Amino acid sequence: MGPRGIFTSIYLTSLLINCIQTGYSLDTSDHFLTPMPHVLGMSVKPDTALRDRSCSGCEGSPLGMSCCGLCAFWENPRSQSGVHHHGWEGQCNARQVAGLLSNLKEQGIDLEGFQPQELFDQIKGRTLWLIGDSQTNYWFLAVECFLKDYLVQEKRGQPTNSTEANMWLIKFIEELPHRGSRKAEPRPSMCTSYQENTRVCFVRIHKVEEAAHPVLRVLKRTVPNFHRDIAIVNAGLHYGVGDPGYRWSMEYFAKFVREHRQELATIVWKDTPPQHFDFENGYYWWFDDSKGGTAGGPKSEKCRALTQEELGSEEILAGGWFNQVAFEVMRASRVSVFNAYNHTLPLWDFHLKDKDCTHFCNPSAYELWTYLLKEHLKHLQPWLPA
Ligand SMILES: *[C@@H]1O[C@H](CO)[C@@H](O)[C@H](O)[C@H]1NC(C)=O
Ligand SMILES: *[C@@H]1O[C@H](CO)[C@@H](O)[C@H](O)[C@H]1NC(C)=O
């Protein structure tokens, strides 16, 4: 390469870096700038301006810290090491994300071309309730950010107009001594408002029965037109593998849904996603303390892919221990099941730092679930109340 070639390539490289930083990609055939795929843009540059706007006016909000932080994945507390905070740690490796997008394309999933409007059209005029544990919380943050073009205000709000109901929808402390959750802050439910009376809300629960009581019980008597809404529910990871209480919880919930179906939002049960710890089948803790990280025992050094043997086992083929139980109970009660388990299994390399082989970086699993949920809702659409 002559000197001219070198200069040209330096010029092009710096132009490309510049484009990546600003969220645009260079279309080399036409020499004009096209916006970067919506989903890939999230892996490149945190939207600090949006985050700041979402935080202004939050002082004194009953939501406390949960009032603000739209699209601020890098502030995800689990993605930080201790109190230090080095840039954007909730972010996936952009090259890995590019690989994921192309693998998905081969499977007919165009996550790269996925437009916010495709999801918005499925939920327009309704509230999409995401009810679940921290895994669902992280997913909520991804859905909320994905729809940012439709925001009516950046500040999050409370789920209902009733102070009493909002109090019922706060998740307080959970008594699980091994897991450090005693120290956790109360977690209020929160909603983000979009155009055309559309909302996406997150309600925190840890146990399945909490989805029935208090959550659905309170929502059905407080939220106007709740029967028109859509509620995606999951709980599983706050039970140890093998806990007989999980089936009892599921059956309690299923019974509640059967008895109140007419007054409830359309209920969709979401799979419990696979984990990728070093322990058997990638799980983290067992009900009887027999294995895994339960009692503060050693954590795995890094996340791993499930072995061929595990992948071929009856339990993993059925969706892992939690889903084996949950899918059976939900299907028997004719509750719609949204199953992204198989699609999430290969994503062992997209977890957060700090040996967390449960939660995922952005954009990866959560954005994929959003895409798959859009597909699921498309099929449900004819059955949703007008
Ligand atoms: C709260 O009250 C306002 C004013 O009456 C109403 O427009 C809005 O729909 C209510 N929101 C909810 C979630 O009930
Ligand atoms: C996952 O895929 C395998 C192979 O196609 C299938 O047999 C299995 O039922 C699927 N499991 C779940 C939980 O969807």
Mutate to test the pocket of ligand 1, among 126, 156, 161, 226 (most ligand atoms within 8 A of CB): 161
Tell me, in angstroms, the distance from the centre of ligand 2 to residue 155's CA: 40
Ligand in nearest proximity to the CA of 201: 1
Q: What spacing in Å lies between the alpha carbon of 317 and ligand 2's midpoint? A: 5
Give residue-wise pLDDT tens across range 196-248.
999 999 999 999 999 999 999 999 999 999 999 999 999 999 999 999 999 99
Lowest pLDDT segment from 144-148, 178-182, 351-355: 178-182
- Which residues make Cβ contacts (< 8 Å) with residue 35, sequence separation at least 6? 23, 24, 25, 41
Flag whether 134 is in a domain: yes
Name residue 131's amino acid: I
Which pLDDT does position 87 carry in this prediction? 46
**pLDDT of 10 strictly over 50:** no
Predicted confidence at residue 183, as pLDDT, reads 57
Q: Which atom of ligand 1 is nearest to the CA of 224?
A: 14
Rg (CA), the chain: 21
Backbone angles phi, psi at 113, to 5 degrees: -90, 0
State the pLDDT at residue 167.
95
Domain that holds residue 112: 105-383
Residues 120-135 pLDDT 10s? 999 999 999 999 999 9
pLDDT at 11: 41
Are 16 and 160 in the same domain? no
Mean pLDDT of the chain: 85
Distance from residue 321's CA to the centre of ligand 2 (Å): 14
Mean pLDDT is lowest, of 178-187, 300-309, 315-324, 366-375, for 178-187
Tell me the CA–centroid distance for residue 325 and ligand 2, in Å: 15
Domain check: are 274 and 368 in the same one?
Answer: yes
Do 7 and 126 lie in a common domain? no
Query: In angstroms, what is the span from residue 261 Cα to ligand 1's centroid?
Result: 23
Confidence tier at 48 by pLDDT (50, 70, 90): confident
Instruction: Judge whether 170 lies within some domain.
Output: yes
Residue 222 Cα: closest atom of ligand 1: 14
| pLDDT tens column, 36-45 | 777 877 766 6
Q: What is the pLDDT of residue 52?
A: 86
Ligand 2 atom closest to the Cα of residue 318 is 13
- DSSP codes of every residue in 129-143: EEEESHHHHHHHHHH
As for how many domains the chain has, the answer is: 2
Both structure tokens of 185: 């802050």
**65 lies in some domain:** no
Q: For residues 341 and 254, state if they share a domain.
A: yes
**Residue 93 confidence class, pLDDT cut points 50, 70, 90:** confident
Residues 213, 352, single domain; the answer is yes
In a domain, 150, yes or no: yes
- Say if ligand 2 is within 6 A of residue 341 CB: yes
**pLDDT higher at 111 or 355:** 111
Q: ∠237-238-242 over CA atoms, to 5°?
A: 75
Mean per-residue pLDDT for 57-72?
A: 84
How many CA atoms does the CB half-sphere of 372 hold within 13 Å?
A: 21
Shared-domain flag, residues 126 and 32: no
What SS3 state is found at 202? strand
